[in-house]
């Protein structure tokens, strides 16, 4: 997918948000593959000429919407800041998870599109969040250090993406995801470091 044309980003922020909100609703209700580009631009109050001035087509608009959903989720999650101890680390992870669950419960359009948004290649902001998480977990002795940090961040992101997909399915069905299996998966991934041969500890 390609990003929207630069002209779109020159629009006033409130106009950008209005267009994205209309498109987000249509893509959520009809599905990313089935929503009508013509109906979206009509509902957004744009002519076809104006729409093609801002977007290179339907896929371009979809990319903008999914990137916006990812940004909204990241703002809800908040940046990762160093935790003072292990308990605070896990508490922050749980707080972020709770905030995302509340946001998705309150914003059904984001819930409907979150899976498609998370399936996109992660942007720099998401990579930065995982990098900070791994660095903090290593500092606190929660996350093993014998695995390359970038590989560990990618593996952690993979586990959390799988957990997100599972949680989204549960939420969409009106259920409440149980975090315990996710924390168990992360603890298994993160440590402990393997013992040296002959280590009797």
Domain assignments of the chain as residue spans, ordered by start: 6-67, 78-190
The pLDDT-based confidence of 121 (bands split at 50, 70, 90) is low
Percent of the chain's residues with pLDDT above 90: 48
The Cα 80–Cα 82 span in angstroms is: 7
pLDDT score at 198: 45
Average the pLDDT over 60-81 and give the result.
Answer: 91
pLDDT for the residue 176: 83
pLDDT (tens digit per residue) in 152-187:
998 998 888 788 778 878 887 888 888 889 999 999
DSSP helix/strand/coil, 3: coil
Mean pLDDT over 39-58 rounds to: 91
Checking if the pLDDT of 24 tops 70, the result is: yes
Task: Quote the tokens at residue 158.
Answer: 């993979």
Provide mean pLDDT across the span 19-36.
95
- pTM: predicted TM-score of the whole model, two decimal places: 0.76
> 26 exposed, middle or buried (CB, 10 Å; 0-12, 13-18, 19+)?
buried
* In the predicted structure, residue 200 carries a pLDDT above the cut 60: no
CA end-to-end span of the chain, whole Å?
A: 51
Q: Which token pair is 169?
A: 């399915």
What fold, for 6-67? Arc Repressor Mutant, subunit A (1.10.10)
């Amino acid at each position: 997918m390609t990003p929207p044309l630069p002209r779109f980003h020159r629009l006033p922020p409130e106009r950008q948000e209005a267009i994205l909100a209309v498109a987000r609703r249509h893509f959520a209700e009809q599905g990313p593959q089935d929503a009508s580009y013509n109906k979206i631009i009509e509902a957004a109050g744009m002519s076809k000429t104006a729409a093609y001035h801002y977007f290179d087509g339907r896929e371009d608009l979809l990319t903008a919407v999914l990137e916006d959903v990812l940004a909204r989720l990241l703002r809800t999650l908040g940046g990762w800041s160093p935790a003072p101890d292990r308990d605070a680390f896990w508490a922050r992870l749980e707080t972020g998870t709770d905030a995302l669950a509340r946001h998705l419960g309150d914003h059904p359009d984001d819930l409907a599109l979150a899976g498609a948004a998370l399936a996109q290649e992660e942007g720099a902001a998401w990579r930065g969040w995982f990098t900070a998480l791994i660095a903090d977990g290593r500092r606190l002795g929660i996350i093993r250090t014998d695995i390359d940090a970038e590989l560990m961040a990618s593996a952690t992101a993979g586990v959390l993406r799988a957990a997100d997909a599972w949680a989204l399915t549960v939420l969409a069905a009106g259920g409440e995801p149980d975090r315990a299996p996710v924390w168990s998966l992360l603890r298994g991934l993160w440590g402990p470091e393997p013992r040296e041969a002959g280590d009797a500890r």
